[in-house]
Structure formats: structure tokens, C-alpha cells
Structure 1
Amino acid sequence: MSTRSWMAVSRLRALLHGDGGMSTAEYAMGTVAAVAFASLLYDIVTGDSIKDALAALITRGLEGGGI
């Protein structure tokens, strides 16, 4: 293998296996973002407008539909 291709393989290997993963700070920020997103979705799904829309959808389906 030539020196040039060995360097290319070495560089590719370093890019693919360079940093093993997220640091503790990145995990913390990811966790905070996931909890915030879950909280927002929970508020949306448990809101009255969603419950009313689902009830109307079920009622319309049981009555035979129509848009």
C-alpha cells in the first residue's frame, strides 16, 4: 500500500472512530431537550381542544361520517 493511500485510510479511520460519543454535558442537554419536548407534547395531547377533536371524530365516525 502506498504512503498516500495509507494516509487516506488512516484519516478515514480517525473520522469514523474519532470521538467515542457524547460528553456528560451533551447528555445533560439532550436529556433536558427531550424532557421539554415530552412536556410540550403532553400538554398538547391532554388539552381540551385535542379531547374535543377526538370526541368529534369518533362521533362523526359512528354516525356514518361525512366531511
Structure 2
Amino acid sequence: MLFRTKPAGRHAAPPRPRWWRRWLRPVITADDGMSTAEYAIGTIAAAAFAALLYSVVTGDSVLAALTGLIQQALTASF
């Protein structure tokens, strides 16, 4: 059967009201204030990542590795 027919009689579904779409759509899709919260969480995450990266880079092992790498690059013969 290519086309479905709607049931008739007492088993027929009542027609959907159209007003609920206009009323419900702004309620569901409203995101007032979301950008402020997203910026705040993003800023906190970036600051935490920067603090973690700073602590890793200024550590003794990373500083020694970078110093060794630079010394090796400067003393390389061509």
C-alpha cells in the first residue's frame, strides 16, 4: 500500500493544535545567558590549562631537555 489512509471514526486521532508550536518553540530553543556561561567555563579551562602547561615547562626535567637540545643544535657540525 503506497498511501496510508487516516483511520476514521472513534479511533481517529484528534487534530493537533497549531498554537502549541508557536508557544513551545521559544521555550525549547531559548538560550538566553548561555553564551556568558560558556565564555566563563572556557576562560576557566584555558587558565587551568595555561597553569598546567607553565608548571610542566618550568619543571627541571623539561628545562634540562630544552637546554640539552639547544646545546646539541649549536654544536652540530655541518
Normalised by the size of structure 2, how large is the TM-score? 0.49
Counterpart AA for 1:51: L
Count, aligned residues = 48
1:27 positional shift: 1.0
Partner of 2:53: 41
Partner of 1:14: none
Indicate the percent of aligned positions where both proteins have the same amino acid.
62
Deviation string for 1:29-66 (max 9, x for gaps)?
Answer: 0111110111111111111111100111122223326x
Secondary structure of the structure 2 residue equivalent to 1:44: helix
Partner of 2:43: 31
Q: Which 4+ runs in 1 deviate beyond 4 A?
A: none
Partner of 1:5: none
Partner of 1:62: 74
Structure with greater helix share of residues? 1
Q: Are 1:50 and 2:62 matched, yes or no?
A: yes
Larger radius of gyration: 2
Secondary structure of the structure 2 residue equivalent to 1:23: helix
Task: Structure 1: state its 5+ residue gaps.
Answer: 1-18
Counterpart AA for 1:58: I
Secondary structure of the structure 2 residue equivalent to 1:64: coil
Instruction: Quote the RMSD (CA, aligned, Å).
Output: 2.5
